[in-house]
Amino acid sequence: MNFIIPIIILLILIYGYLNGVKVYDAFIEGAGEGLLITFRILPYIGAMLLAVGMLRNSGGLDFMLYVLRPLTSAAGIPEEVVPLIIMKPLSGSGALGILADILKRSGADNYAGVLASIIMSSTETIFYTITVYFGSIGIKNIRHTLAAAVIADMAGLAAAVLLCRFILF
Amino acid sequence: MINKLWFYMIAIAVAFAATGRRLEILTEEIFSSLGAAVELGIGLLGGMMLWCGVLKVAEKSGLVDKISDFIRPLMKLLFRGIPPKSAAMGAMIMNITSNMLGLGNAATPMGLKAMQELQQLNPRKDTATNAMCLFLVVNAAPIQILPATVLSLRASVGSANPGIIILPAVASSFAAVSAGVITCKLLEKTCGGRA
């Protein structure tokens, strides 16, 4: 599967080249933005690594995972990933911090690391989006939006777990 | 919401540590976790330069328009009540396309614009229309072709195979969107409001 990355890069560059884009200049511009984005998200990652690290070291996280264990083990979800599943609908940057913690701790290529990466890339921060989007136009009655968004989130999670267990591992 | 959550994470941690007599260990963790964040950030810089650079080429080459053309028929099918050539439809398509390419900076303004346009078609200004609900649900699980941050993060912790997650993530998003759309279509008749 690792062959996919150079191919994606090449295809995008070919497409740009054929369409008259100054590919080198564009790359430089984007790379500069990438640096700025990294600096912008770093405080979020720091704040979340701090909170999760404290929660783990104090024994508080173990306690919460212990309470949730019947649920998570039945669903085949590794414990490390549980905080990510809780955080993802609430805050994208918070979830990114937790993903960083999972990848550092249990590695990127085992079941937990891959599942966490898939969850992070496949669902959005639904509560945040709903609040901001409806808030911006003054909608009070959001009707079935939350129910449908939560079901979508669950379906995405279920698909990620199934794909991980039966295809990748 | 995140403010409360973050506060309670820290408050609970200190409370647990105090009762378990682990406050010294907690002090070590506080400083090492922020150090870890810095290390991670440095690792992240390389990957983010790569992917944001490549995505900029995609953006300038008009790939956004190409993908828009590709999803337009699908959007017409989903949002039957919205005129296909309206500003609302245009903004929704741009928002979803930007999300697919992971261009978060472009996606949010377009999404807010789409909501404004949808609001103009709304007869009851405080109640969400079917189209708004559906738009938000589609937004809840964007199909990301290139999850740049996650790829960079994986590479920065030394993954042997950062890209392994792309196709499963697309498939999971697709499952999520499908479930969300079906739920929306089922609930829109029973959950109050019209149009």
- Sequential pLDDT tens for chain A (169 residues): 567 778 888 999 999 999 999 999 999 999 998 899 888 888 888 888 899 889 888 988 888 889 999 999 999 899 999 999 988 888 888 899 999 999 999 999 999 999 999 999 998 888 888 988 999 999 989 999 999 999 999 999 999 999 999 888 8
| Strand partners for B127 | A141
At A141 the three-state DSSP class reads strand
Residue B193's pLDDT is what? Answer: 54
Contacts of residue B186, Cβ cutoff 8 Å, sequence gap at least 6: none
Q: Is the pLDDT of residue B134 over 90?
A: yes
User: Is the model more confident about B98 or about B136?
Assistant: B136
Is there a contact between A61 and A105 (Cβ–Cβ < 8 Å)?
no
**Res. B195 pLDDT band, cuts 50 70 90:** very low
Nearest to A97 by CA among B16, B33, B169: B33
- Chain B segment 163-192 residues within 8 A of A by beta carbon are 163-180, 183-184, 187-188, 190-192
Task: Specify the amino acid at residue B122.
Answer: N
- pLDDT for B1: 63
Chain A residues with beta carbon closer than 8 angstroms to that of B120 = none
Q: Does A13 touch chain B (CB under 8 A)?
A: yes
Residue among B14, B38, B161 minimizing CB distance to A109: B161
Q: Which two tokens stand for residue B56?
A: 């900029």
Residue A20: closest CA among chain B residues belongs to which residue? B61
Q: Distance (Å, rounded) from C-alpha B160 to C-alpha A109?
A: 7
Q: Name the minimum distance, in Å, from the CA of B44 to any CA of chain A.
A: 7
**Test mutation, B5, B14, B26, B61, chain A, max A CBs within 10 A:** B61
Integer Cα distance of B35 and A13 in angstroms: 36
Every domain of chain A and the residues it spans: 42-168
CB contact under 8 A, B2 and A1: no
Residue B105 has pLDDT above 70, yes or no: no
Percentage with pLDDT > 90 across chain B: 51
Write down the pLDDT at residue A2: 63
How far apart CA B151 and CA A36 sit, in angstroms, is 17
Contact B141 A96 (CB under 8 A): no
Distance from CA of B98 to the nearest CA of A (A): 14
Res B104 pLDDT > 50? yes
Q: List beta partners, residue A141.
A: B127
Query: What's the whole-number mean pLDDT along residues B14-33?
Result: 90
A54/B5: higher pLDDT: A54
The per-residue pLDDT for range B148-193, each reduced to its tens digit, is 889 999 999 999 999 999 999 999 999 999 999 999 999 988 876 5
Are B177 and A57 a contacting pair at CB < 8 A? no
pLDDT at residue A37, rounded to an integer: 83
Span B69-87, average pLDDT: 91
Of all residues in chain B, what percent are helix, strand and coil, respectively (each to 5)? 80, 0, 20
pLDDT score at B47: 86
